[in-house]
Structure 1
């Protein structure tokens, strides 16, 4: 049974991931609030052959302010925006891993949950059938074990996304995003380094280096039914050619993450704002 603190962290991760599937209207309330439930299945870490499945509460929060925006793309603070480009803040998160519950990491230190934060530049090209967006986020990665927070590296994840409304069925929003992952030595060492003191016959010592960290493909689908929102996502990570590919902690070359959720929106502001995608 997952600990309550793990469920809170998993809920935060699910909110970040499932929010990428959230659909919005052309004219909408300034803010909306609700609650729901979700199911999240996620590997212990990218490349692990073990996973955790969480059934958990998911808050539904949308805010469409001039600078702070929480919507289907992400939680972001917008610093600059014009017809095609945008500067904002990018966020990501990961769940904790208890090493004694993972065969590859047994007797090694636990993996604390991480929070990733940093600037992001985006360029959006609007077409009649949907939007094509290039996103270039550079994030600092922080491992969190309250009250301690420590820097565990930097990650760069350029992404090309295609968003379509009313696809594949009327009222639905579909999105596909894909791109490589690059990280520095500290980032990859946090997940894949094996110190000599933790080396075994089946897990030799291994040191990390910076560079290419694999490729991601994410598919999302969502729909808003008046006061009910439903959505889901599926993400594939492939590690062929990654700088950590030969780490003994990498047990498979492809990892899968998926989740579904449903929320009831029970509060919204009377003020309405124009909505641009």
Structure 2
């Protein structure tokens, strides 16, 4: 009994660490990063974040997530690690940037009264890929900018054993308006709007129902590639003190006319996600860099 108990405890710990890690990644990748004035090359801090969001787009069952997390920022000409995620600057000019960008998705439970009841749980996902970004307009004095961003990402689920499995591709072109404090640079806000697209593998990871899991109220279903709905995201960063920072975000999606809207796993065509992060910075470098 003891060896089995030990293995179960190790598996439980690994699964929870995996879920916590993807929750942290989702929190920090939804908040705007600092930019503009000279900033420390690196910063160290600790934060606490929270999320309220459904299991997946199309689910009407919401959950709350809260977790502390370490916060590390590193800034250079080729690589940024900050609250907007990990970005590798492959190319940059005054008007065009080619970056590496990242996104994440939470695990999905299939117990209780969920439309997925009796189906396998869904592992958390991590998405990584290039993002071509075009600066359409910039006002230096008022610190405003308007961007067209074209991220193409490969999605991977993270299994209980830590093994990644490719789950398809997503493409989320969007327009993003950004404004920050012109005098003190103590706050920054961004609003982005755009459609979502993905291939059939990506859609079926969330919305497919195979014959094995057909019930009286859940028919067999397989999704195709194409339109996934639209998304609007508002995020705000506020410098409360020299050491304390607050980030807030709200995201709203609509699934009207999405290629998977007829899936029996889709119970609502509206999606809402809210989140916050409060970060205390306790150390930073004397060396500074200036980012666009």
Higher mean C-alpha deviation, range 72-81 or range 42-51: 72-81
Q: Distance in 2 between matches of 1:144 and 1:27?
A: 37
Q: Distance in 2 between matches of 1:101 and 1:117?
A: 32
Contact persistence 2:27–2:276 (CA under 8 A):
no
Q: Does 1:127 align with 2:142?
A: no
Q: Does 1:104 align with 2:115?
A: yes
Q: Distance in 1 between matches of 2:108 and 2:121?
A: 6
What corresponds to 2:70 in structure 1?
Answer: 59
Aligned length in residues = 272
1:194 to 204, 209, 220: 209
Note the C-alpha offset of 1:3: 4.0
Q: Distance in 2 between matches of 1:273 and 1:56?
A: 30
Contact persistence 1:14–1:58 (CA under 8 A):
no
What corresponds to 2:163 in structure 1?
Answer: 148
Q: Distance in 1 between matches of 2:151 and 2:197?
A: 11
Q: Distance in 1 between matches of 2:24 and 2:118?
A: 27
What corresponds to 2:51 in structure 1?
Answer: 40
Q: Distance in 2 between matches of 1:186 and 1:16?
A: 24
What corresponds to 2:177 in structure 1?
Answer: 162
What corresponds to 1:50 in structure 2?
Answer: 61
Q: Distance in 2 between matches of 1:178 and 1:101?
A: 34
Q: Under a length normalisation based on structure 1, what TM-score does the superposition of the two structures give?
A: 0.93
In the alignment, structure 2 segments of 5+ residues that lack a partner are 1-14
1:257 aligns to what SS in structure 2?
Answer: strand
Q: Distance in 1 between matches of 2:193 and 2:169?
A: 19
Q: Distance in 2 between matches of 1:183 and 1:4?
A: 28
What is the root-mean-square deviation of aligned Cα atoms in Å?
Answer: 1.9
Q: Distance in 2 between matches of 1:55 and 1:269?
A: 29
Q: After TM superposition, list the pairs within 5 Å mapping 1:61-80 onto structure 2.
A: 61-71=72-82, 73-80=84-91
What corresponds to 2:27 in structure 1?
Answer: 14
1:197 aligns to what SS in structure 2?
Answer: helix
Q: Distance in 2 between matches of 1:208 and 1:216?
A: 20
1:79 aligns to what SS in structure 2?
Answer: strand
Q: Distance in 2 between matches of 1:194 and 1:95?
A: 20
Contact persistence 2:197–2:226 (CA under 8 A):
yes
Q: Does 1:176 align with 2:191?
A: yes
1:229 to 245, 256, 264: 245
Q: Distance in 1 between matches of 2:20 and 2:82?
A: 22
Q: Under a length normalisation based on structure 2, what TM-score does the superposition of the two structures give?
A: 0.88
